[in-house]
Amino acid sequence: MDPGEYSRELEAYLCRKNDGHLIRIAGPAFERVCGWAEQGIPFKVACQGIDRYFERYYAKGPRRRPVRIEFCEADVLDAFDEWRRAVGVTSGAPTDALARETARRTLPAHLQRIVQKLTTARSTVPDGAIAAALDDALDDIEEVRSRSASFRGDARSRAVDRLAEIDRELVAGIRSALPQEALDSLRREAEQELERFAARMPPGAYARAIEGATGRLLRERYGLPRIEYGF
């Protein structure tokens, strides 16, 4: 999308989130959103940031007024930071909000969160190879949790390493269970997301970013959290 189209699509998305109430993206707001497009923030990632703002907004009780796009900026930038880290696009500094969130998330809290999310993901998948991969990951994580009382020093380092291994095994297991046409579709979407970065990255880094973006889209499709700790 060019910046103008990007802004119009986000305006339409925000209108739907505001139950049909149209808040125009114009003036300084338009310039800000065009800046997101120029940074290379994928449209879907920007939508994820908007969704995060609305989740908190709904949690506070009945809404009093429509949300403006400016209110969502911090969440959009945080979602972009996470996307860049997931796919390996490292230009620019992460936002302070993301750094604070990563720093305050303890390992036991992280384990509880990923078990909850994987359990939810498993409930939406029929029995089969994908369900088996999710079951294996849950069993492995519960084994790590059972030793959580000894998470000190080397034991904690081994637990962190094991979580990264479980994460890789889960993604590999689901990828191997998908038909080739589904993987090809994810890869094409990943290439579209990274199109703006292609000229800035060495071929090897770009190829790794495509693989990372494909994995992120697979996680999004099945509601998978990142199991590794401290990513």
Taking CA atoms, 10 is separated from 76, 113, 207, in Å, by: 12, 30, 29
Q: Which of residues 55, 79, 101 is at a domain's end?
A: 101
Average pLDDT, the chain: 83
Do residues 134 and 194 both lie within one domain? yes
Give residue-wise pLDDT tens across range 195-209.
878 777 888 888 888
Do residues 111 and 218 both lie within one domain? yes
Give residue-wise pLDDT tens across range 61-115.
776 788 899 989 988 988 888 888 777 766 544 444 444 444 445 788 888 888 8
Q: Is residue 212 part of a domain?
A: yes
Judged against a pLDDT cut of 50, whether residue 120 lies above it is answered with: yes
Q: What's the total number of domains in the chain?
A: 2
Do residues 158 and 111 both lie within one domain? yes
Do residues 71 and 129 both lie within one domain? no
Q: Is residue 7 part of a domain?
A: yes
Q: Which of residues 67, 101, 135 is at a domain's end?
A: 101
Q: Which long-range contacts (CB under 8 A, 24 or more apart) does 120-125 make?
A: 120/223, 121/222, 121/223, 121/224, 124/223, 125/222
The residues, any chain, with a CB within 8 Å of residue 23's CB and separated by 6 or more, are 11, 14, 15, 66, 67, 68, 69
Do residues 131 and 145 both lie within one domain? yes
Which range of residues forms the domain containing residue 188?
105-222
Q: Which of 59-63, 71-75, 116-120, 152-156 has the lowest mean pLDDT?
A: 59-63
Q: Which of residues 80, 101, 122 is at a domain's end?
A: 101
Q: Is residue 146 part of a domain?
A: yes
Judged against a pLDDT cut of 60, whether residue 231 lies above it is answered with: no
**What is the per-residue pLDDT for 166?**
93
Q: Is residue 24 part of a domain?
A: yes
Q: Is residue 227 part of a domain?
A: no
Side chain identity at 20, as an amino acid letter?
G
**What is the per-residue pLDDT for 96?**
47
Do residues 140 and 160 both lie within one domain? yes
Q: At what angle do helices 107-123 and 129-146 cross, to 10 degrees?
A: 160
Judged against a pLDDT cut of 80, whether residue 60 lies above it is answered with: no
**What is the per-residue pLDDT for 139?**
93
Give residue-wise pLDDT tens across range 25-35.
998 889 889 98
Give residue-wise pLDDT tens across range 181-196.
999 999 998 888 888 7
Q: Is residue 230 part of a domain?
A: no
Q: Is residue 73 part of a domain?
A: yes
Do residues 49 and 118 both lie within one domain? no
Do residues 70 and 137 both lie within one domain? no
